[in-house]
Structure 1
Amino acid sequence: MPSQGTIGDRVRGLRLNRRMSQAQLAGPDLSDSYVSLIESGKRTPTPVVARLLAERLGCTTEFLLHGIEPRQRIDTELGLRHAELELQHGDPAVAADRYSEIVKAADEENAMLTAQARFGRARALEAQGRLGQAVEAFERLRREAAAHPERLADLPITIALSRCYQRAGDRLRARDLASKALEQAERMSILQGELAVELACALVEAHGEQRGSSPELAYVKRVLDIAGLSDVMDRSGEVRALWKASSAAAAGEDSALAVRLADDAINAGRDCRVALQLARAAMRWARLEWTPTAEAERLASDAARTFASAGRDQERGEALIALSRVMLRAGEPERAGDLAGEALGLLGGGSVAAEAHLVRATVAVMREADPADHLTAARIVLEGTAGQPYGADRATAKCWRELGDLFGRTGDRSQQTAAYRKALEAAGVRSIMAGLTVDTAIAR
C-alpha cells in the first residue's frame, strides 16, 4: 500500500492504484476540483471527508491521515512512552537510542510522531551532558517548529535551549531565549504546570544576577507563590511496576493496554518531577543576594525538606549550603557552620562541597579562629574538579575567587594569588560548541 509523506500523495497514489478518476473518487458528495486541491496539498480534508475518502479508497482513515496503519501507529506511540520512561527513570543513553530507532522507523510517514521522537532524543542528549549535540538538535527542532507549528510546540524547545546555553556558558543567549519563552508563556497565561516550572528554573538561572525588578524574575516569583513547595511521595516503585506491566502487555500483543499502563507510569512520576523542579527554582531564588532574608530562609528550608522527602541527598546538601549562605547574611554564623557541616555529610564532592568548606572557613574568620584546615579542604576539593562536565566552570570559578578572598583575609598572599589564577582558568571560555553553526536569528 502506498505510504507517501503527505495526505495528498496518499490520496493520489491510492486512487491511481484503483484506476479511479478524480470525479469517481469525488462521487456525489464532493467535487472533482476539491479532490484535486487535496491531492495537490492545497486543502486538508476534514475528518468527515477523510472517512469518506478512506471508504472509497479501501484504506483506514488512520492510514490516509497519518501514513501508517493503526497497529503501527500505536506501536510507535508505545515506543515513545517507553523511551520517555527510560529518560525519566532509567538510562538517558538507552532513551536516546530508543528515540533514534523511532525516528528511523517512522521517518516522514508521520511527521508529528517523528518530531516528538527527535525532541525526546535531544532531551536525552542533554541529560547525558552532550550539550553541543543537544543544542544542535534543539536548534533544528526550533526551526522546524517555526515552519510547522502543527508538529511541534516551540515553547518547550526554547526553554530547553536556554537551559543548555546556560550550562554551556553562553549566558547572553540563554537570557535571550528565556525571555522569548516568557513572552510566549505570558501570552497564554501559563503560570502552573510542568512547563511553567521549567521556565521559572530557566529564568532564575539566566536572569538571577539582575538586581531590582524585572518581568523575568517577577514571573519566577509568581510561579513559586502559586505552586508552593511540598514534600514528595516516593512513587518510584509504582512507576517501575507499571512500566514492567506495560512491557509485559506489549510482549503479549496487547498494545492498547501497554500504552495505557505506560501513561499511568509517566503520570505517577509527574508530581515528583514538578515538585523537585520547584524546589530547584526555590533554592536558586534563595541564593540571590537581594532576596529578603526571611523569604530566602523559608524557600531554602522548604527546598531542603522537599529534597529530603525524595531521598535526593546531593540536592538536599546543595539546599543546606544555600541556607547556610542565608544564615551568614542574617548574622548567624553558628547556624551557618552547623548547616555546612551537615551538608558535607551529604555531598559527594565538586564545587558545592567546596562551598561547604568555604562557609565553615568564613565562620572561622568571623569568630577570629584559624580557618586554615577549612581553606585547605576547599582547595583540595576544587583541585579535584579538573575535567568536570561542562557547565560547572562558573560555579568552580566563583569558589576559587572566594577562596582567594579568604586567603587574602588571612594574609596568605601567595595562596591568594594562586586561587585567583585558578578562578580565571576555570572561568575561561571552553570550546564545547566548536564546529557548531547556529542561526542567531532563530536562537535569539
Structure 2
Amino acid sequence: MAAQDLVGQRIKAIRRQRGLSQAQLAHPELSDSYVSLIESGKRTPTPAVLELLAQKLDCSLTYLVNGVTAEQMEDLEVGLSFARMALENGEVAEARRRYAELLADGNLLGLASLRVEARYGFALASEACGELVEAISALEELGESEAEAMTQERKVAVALALCRCHRERGDYSAAVQVGERALEKMARSGWTDPLVELGSTLLSVYLARGDLLRAGHFAAELLAAADALGTPRAAVASCWNAALAAEQAGRGDEAIALIERALAIQSETGEPRNLARVRQAHANMLLRLRPEEAEKARDLLLRAQREMEAAATSTFDRAQGALALALAEITLQYPEQAVEYARAAADHVRGTWGWLETQANLLLSQAHFLLHQDGEAAAELNMVTEWLETVPPTRKTAEDWMTIAELRRRIGDDEQSVAAYQRALACAGL
C-alpha cells in the first residue's frame, strides 16, 4: 500500500474518532472534496496541509505521516542505534537479535527508511553469524519489496552483500548474476566508490570460479575506474582484487606490489575493519608466493587477528584468518599449532558446509600427516571428498582434488589418490 494511502486512512480514522465530518475538518481552510481526495489516497497533502490537519485532529504530525507517535518513533530510532552499535562492535549475535526484534515491531511498517535500515542490518548481522541462507533471504526481500525506499547507494550495498553471500556459499553462478545485473543497471552513468567495490566483489567471484580471462580484463577496467575517481576507497578495492587476479595469472611480483599499495592506502584512511582484512590478504599472499617469508606473514596475521577482535568483522573473516594462521604454522613446521587454528576456523563456520569448512579440513589433514596421524588425516580427507562430490566443477574444485590426491598418496592410499587425480582432471576439462 502506498504511503499516501496510509496517510489518508489515518486521517479518516482519527476524523471519525473525533466525530467530525469531512466538511467540519476542512472548514475554513480547505474544501471537503479535497479532504475526501486525501482520505481516498488520490491526493498527496503538502507538508503544510498535513501540519494543519494534525492540529485540527489534535494528533501529532509524526503519527499522521508515519503511523507512530513521537515516543514510538524515538524508541525505534534508539533500538536501531543499539543494534547498529552492537554490529559495529562485533557483537553480531546481539545485533542480529536486536534487528529481528525491530522487524517484528508493527510500528516499523509505515517507516520505510527505518525498515530498510533494519532489514539491511539484520542481513549483515546474519552473514556475520554465518547464517548465509538467512542473510540472502533478507537481502533478496529488500531488493524486491523495498526498492522504492532505497537510495542508489543502498541498492549498491545490498547487491554487493548479496553477491558476497552467494560467493561465500560457493554459489558462483548466483553471485555473478547478481553482480553483473546490478552493474549493468547502475553503472550506466559512470563509476562511483560503491560501484567499484561491487565490481571488486564480482571480480573475486570470477577468480573463484576460474574465469581468469574475464577476471584479467575486468581487473584492468576496475583499476582504470579507480584511477579516474582518485579516491582511497576505490583504490583499495580495485588494487586488492587486481592483486588476486595478477597472482592467479602468474604475475607474483605485480600481485605483491598491488596488495602492498592497497595496504598502504588503507593504513592512511584509518578504517580498522578493512585494514585488518587487507593486512590479512597481504599475509595470505606472502604465504602463497613467498613461503620463505612465513614468519613475517604469521606476524602480520596475528596483528590482523587482534584488529579483527576489536572490530565488527564477520565469522568468515575470522575463519579465513585462522586458516591463514594454520597454513603459516604448517609452512613453519609447527603442526600442533596448525591443528588448533584449523579447528578454530572450522568452528567458526561449522554447519555452513561450504568452501571455508572444506579448507579447514584440508589443512587439518596436512597437519595430522605431519604429526604421523594418518588415520585422522584420512578422516578429514573423507569429509572434503564428500563435499566436493556435491558441488559443480570449477578451477578451485580441481585444485582441491589435486590436494586430496597428493595427501592420499602421502598416507599410502594409492587407489583413492588415483581417483582424486582423475576427478581433478575432469574438473579441469581434461
Is it true that 1:344 corresponds to 2:298 in the alignment? yes
**Post-superposition offset of 1:189:** 3.2
1:169-193 Cα offsets, whole Å, 9 max, x none, are 110000000112212431353412x
Matches within 5 A, 1:420-431: 421=420
Q: Is the 8 A contact 1:229 1:303 kept in 2?
A: no
CA distance in 2, matches of 1:124, 1:36: 44
Q: Is the 8 A contact 2:164 2:175 kept in 1?
A: yes
Is it true that 1:285 corresponds to 2:242 in the alignment? yes
1:279-300 Cα offsets, whole Å, 9 max, x none, are 4653332121238655423221
Matches within 5 A, 1:41-120: 41-105=41-105, 106-120=107-121
Q: Is the 8 A contact 1:375 1:403 kept in 2?
A: no
- Determine the structure 1 residue equivalent to 2:19: 19
Please state whether the residue corresponding to 1:6 is helix, strand or coil: helix
1:50-100 Cα offsets, whole Å, 9 max, x none, are 122222222232221111233432332232123112112230111112222
- Determine the structure 2 residue equivalent to 1:220: 222
1:21-51 Cα offsets, whole Å, 9 max, x none, are 2223233443333322221223322212212
Please state whether the residue corresponding to 1:68 is helix, strand or coil: coil
1:334-390 Cα offsets, whole Å, 9 max, x none, are xx23333321344477543465578x69xxxxxxxxxxx699998997788656624
**Post-superposition offset of 1:116:** 2.0
- Determine the structure 2 residue equivalent to 1:316: 279
2:178 partner letter = L
Please state whether the residue corresponding to 1:43 is helix, strand or coil: coil
1:17 partner letter = Q
Residues 1:74 and 1:343: Cα distance change in structure 2 (over 3 Å): same
Matches within 5 A, 1:19-418: 19-105=19-105, 106-146=107-147, 148-149=148-149, 153-192=154-193, 195-196=194-195, 198-208=197-207, 209-212=210-213, 217=219, 220-222=222-224, 224-225=226-227, 279=236, 282-288=239-245, 289-290=248-249, 295-305=254-264, 310=272, 316-323=279-286, 325=288, 328=289, 336-347=290-301, 350-353=322-325, 356=328, 389=349, 390=352, 391=354, 392-393=356-357, 398=396, 400-401=400-401, 403=403, 414=413, 418=417
**Post-superposition offset of 1:7:** 0.7
Q: Is the 8 A contact 1:207 1:217 kept in 2?
A: no
1:230-265 Cα offsets, whole Å, 9 max, x none, are 7xxxxxxxxxxxxxxxxxxxxxxxxxxxxxxxxxxx
Q: Is the 8 A contact 2:206 2:212 kept in 1?
A: no
Please state whether the residue corresponding to 2:162 is helix, strand or coil: helix
Residues 1:90 and 1:211: Cα distance change in structure 2 (over 3 Å): closer
**Post-superposition offset of 1:227:** 6.5
Gaps of 5+ in 2: 303-320, 363-383, 385-395
Q: Is the 8 A contact 1:196 1:223 kept in 2?
A: no
CA distance in 2, matches of 1:49, 1:305: 55
Q: Is the 8 A contact 1:354 1:377 kept in 2?
A: yes
Q: Is the 8 A contact 1:282 1:300 kept in 2?
A: yes
Aligned length: 353
What TM-score comes out, normalization by structure 1 length? 0.64
1:61 partner letter = L
1:115 partner letter = V
**Post-superposition offset of 1:161:** 1.3
CA distance in 1, matches of 2:151, 2:419: 50
**Post-superposition offset of 1:9:** 1.4
By relative contact order (CA 8 Å, sep 6+), the higher-ranking structure is 1
Q: Is the 8 A contact 2:113 2:149 kept in 1?
A: no
Residues 1:407 and 1:116: Cα distance change in structure 2 (over 3 Å): closer
CA distance in 2, matches of 1:347, 1:84: 27
**Post-superposition offset of 1:11:** 0.5
CA distance in 1, matches of 2:323, 2:201: 20
1:319 partner letter = H
CA distance in 2, matches of 1:384, 1:424: 29
CA distance in 1, matches of 2:255, 2:118: 39
CA distance in 1, matches of 2:220, 2:29: 56
